[in-house]
Structure 1
Amino acid sequence: MNIVIIGQGGHSKVIKDLIRNYESYKIIALLDDKFEDFVSEDEVFYGPIASYQFLINQYKDIKFIVAIGNNKTRKKIVETLNLEVYNYTTIIHPSAIVSPSVKIGKGTVIMSNTVINADVEIGNHVIINTGSIIEHDNKVSDFVHVSPNATLTGNVHVGEGVHIGAGATIIPNVFVGDWSVIGAGATVIDSIPENITAMGVPARIKKLVGGA
């Protein structure tokens, strides 16, 4: 499979290493708007994001992954590309433990040493980061980022674009509203509205996302 990685930051480095675990995957391009020109080096193309259309015209078997950790930026790029869902690939680290009943969307990345248990639904363009645990019957919506070592216990529903900080814990049957942020190390015992930042143990609402 020929893979185009969009984004050339720290998150992209991790995804590149992940892809290299699979002999059947070949990185053919790294696209980022920090590149002004479209060039080829060691059989890999480098160029601005707009170069994606050239690659689609050149390759038949080609898949994309948006390797950007910021949820809003990742969504904006996906909307700008306006590709069909099947143009994206899903990448799962070999060390991840994933129940056969799990449903995982396209453009999603499952990092090393994660555990995803029975009947979990994970949307498109989600990041399940290193060492995180997604327990049974969770629903994780599109463009979510679950940071390293976070734990979602059973029957948690995470709305679109939510960022769950490193080491956070969400207890069973909690809902986290769209585009909210759960601070690192927080323990969420009550449902959280959309567009809210919540921090602490137990988690308390601190501010509207983007507010003062």
Structure 2
Amino acid sequence: MKKIVIIGDSGHAKVISDIVNSNDDLSVYAKLDDKYQEVFVEDGLLKGPVSHLQELMKSELQIRVVVGIGSNVVRQKIVSNLGLSSEAYISVIHASAIVSPSAKIGNGTVVMPGAIVNADTNIGDHVIVNSGCVVEHDCAIGNYAHISPRAALTGGTTIGEGAHIGASASVIPLKTVGAWSTVGAGAVVISDIEDKVTVVGTPARVVKREGL
């Protein structure tokens, strides 16, 4: 059985714990978060600062890591700071999710309860495919993106690195959402969205650019 270390110990990490525990061959071994100053055991789980991961990786050959942080920017920063090999991370998929055999799921990506990932979709590393969202055929999702609950990506859409698709938002076929852009909750994307902007509404329109 693989022992899973979750980086982070907040609401998002709770959901990931449930996903891990839905898999018979995985178990949560530790939750590491820099809000903790020392190592301790609580409810059977090891807890402590993120720096303790180095000791765990040395002593436990079966350990795999997943970053349980909802913020795309923070998740990317943590992965960069940890400097682990890609093989150290595990993709965690809830038992109730439907994932096509032809879909590709990157390292450290989490697929949450009720999510659907259809044929020939390519999902990058450290992505959040959140509860009940739909990712249709032939989509491409970049590293560190977040597809929120009940969002719908229709066929052939492209989601850039670090982009955030809000709850119940939709992207129509063959459209692109640029890197590190945010699509607000309930928005409908009917044209390509550039990098590093926030869009809201139906149809989605730009309301903020980075730095403004």
Q: TM-score, normalised by structure 2?
A: 0.97
Residue of structure 1 equivalent to 2:191: 190
Residue of structure 2 equivalent to 1:81: 82
Q: Superposed, which structure 2 residues align to 1:1-212 within 5 Å?
A: 1-209=2-210, 211-212=211-212
| SS of alignment partner, residue 162 of structure 2 | coil
CA RMSD of the aligned region, Å? Answer: 0.9
Q: CA deviation at 1:40?
A: 2.8
Aligned residue identity for 1:80:
N
Q: CA deviation at 1:42?
A: 4.7
**What does the per-residue CA deviation read over 1:73-117, in whole Å, with 9 as the maximum and x for residues that have no partner?**
000000000000000000111111111100000100000111111
| Inter-partner Cα distance in structure 1 for 2:140 and 2:156 | 7
Q: CA deviation at 1:41?
A: 3.7
Tell me, which stretches of 5 or more residues in structure 2 are unaligned? none
Percentage of identical aligned residues: 46
| Inter-partner Cα distance in structure 2 for 1:121 and 1:68 | 22
Q: CA deviation at 1:44?
A: 2.2
Which stretches of structure 1, 4 residues or more, deviate above 2 A after TM superposition?
Answer: 40-44
Aligned residue identity for 2:144:
F
Q: TM-score, normalised by structure 1?
A: 0.97
| Inter-partner Cα distance in structure 1 for 2:191 and 2:23 | 41
Q: CA deviation at 1:43?
A: 4.2
- Matched positions, count: 211
| Inter-partner Cα distance in structure 2 for 1:4 and 1:204 | 40
| Inter-partner Cα distance in structure 2 for 1:150 and 1:22 | 25
Residues 42 and 149 (structure 1 numbering): CA distance in 2 closer, same or farther, change over 3 Å?
Answer: closer
**What does the per-residue CA deviation read over 1:128-173, in whole Å, with 9 as the maximum and x for residues that have no partner?**
0000000010000100000000000011010000000000000011
| Inter-partner Cα distance in structure 1 for 2:184 and 2:23 | 34
Q: CA deviation at 1:18?
A: 1.1
| Inter-partner Cα distance in structure 1 for 2:132 and 2:42 | 34
